[in-house]
A and B are shown apart, each in its own frame.
Chain A
Amino acid sequence: MTHRVEPKKSYFAIFAALMALTALTVWASTVDFGALSIVVALAIAVVKALLVILFFMHVRHSRPLTQAVVAGGLVWLVILLVLTLSDYLTRGWLPPPPAW
């Protein structure tokens, strides 16, 4: 079989890391990082998601084709978010054009 069997303790280690990061994100929400609060919260969430994807979902040892599909899905998600927000977040940057 192509999928390897991970030792149990590695799953417990990932679980412990996810718990620690959950505690960290709750603590971080009580600290005033100003505009960076959302960046800190999302950075922690991305790390947690990557731990789940790479270890619990075995993508670390998946075939390159599967890894490409996973990466492709995430790239399209980033395109969806970045292009949408590049419109809405920049609408106030320039004055409305004069009537013509």
Chain B
Amino acid sequence: MAEHSGALAHQFDDLGQQLDASTFGMWLFLVTEIMFFGGLFACYAVYRAAYPQAFAEASLHLDLTLGGANTVVLIASSLTMALAVRAAQIGKSIATARYLWATLALGTIFLVIKSFEYHHKYVESLIPGPSFSVEGPHARQIELMFCFYFAMTGMHALHMIIGAGLLVYFIAQAQAGRYSPDYYGPVEVMGLYWHFVDIVWIFLFPLLYLIGHRQ
């Protein structure tokens, strides 16, 4: 009897409607996120079209090994996130918490690798501003590409940090046994956010790291 379930909030007819409402609401938020990152991508597209040579040169300054490793790490974290949602669906609280731990660990590895990359850029004077130093005819346009690099990966990393903070809360909730087959909507919604951040990186990786015609 759904009416007697403690998992059901008063305003919903049944558990299915409650779950649909939460995923629907999350998708509405993610649509605003699509438009937010879409603006960055549109801006990137305009300037890359204007300075294709400089963008290709700038891309060669990025570390393909670290960027590729981060792609693998982030997609793996999406896998563990999907498995966490699945464990919550079938009522396995301990497994849910473990998969969420794995997701948090992989997300943290991503951020650590990213911070090493940022540090390398600092050491190599590739941070846009007075200290930026690149030789050649396209120096200013390469600096522009690095503005995009830091703005886009920085906004992405900010979303990762927020997601990692949320994961800490969800791990605590899962370990307290708050989720059940009747009430796993929050984990599902957390998963939607995490996968969205993964998708943003799926586009950032080829557009930033892979445009320099490496041999």
Contact = CB atoms under 8 A, between A and B. Distances in A.
Q: Do A and B come from one complex?
A: yes
Interface of A: 1-3, 5-6, 8, 11-12, 14-15, 18-19, 22, 25-26, 28-30, 32, 37-38, 41-42, 44-45, 48-49, 52-53, 55-58, 62-63, 65-66, 69-70, 72-74, 76-77, 80-81, 84-85, 88-89
Interface of B: 15-16, 19-20, 23-24, 27-28, 30-31, 34-35, 38-39, 41-42, 45-46, 49-50, 64, 68, 71-72, 75-76, 78-79, 81-83, 86, 89-90, 181-182, 188, 191-192, 195-196, 198-199, 202-203, 205-207, 210-215
A48 B27 CA distance: 19
A3 B210 CA distance: 38
A86 B192 CA distance: 32
Contacts of B71: 22
B112 to A, nearest CB: 20
Contact of A57 (B64, B79, B192, B205): B192
A49 B199 contact: yes
Q: Name which of A53, A74, A77 has the most chain B CB atoms within 10 A of its CB.
A: A77
Contacts, number: 143
Contact of B46 (A52, A56, A62, A85): A85
Contact of A11 (B82, B90, B192, B207): B82
Given A1-B181, A69-B31, A52 B79 contact: no
B36 to A, nearest CB: 11
A63 B68 CA distance: 35
Contacts of A55: 82
A69 B179 CA distance: 27
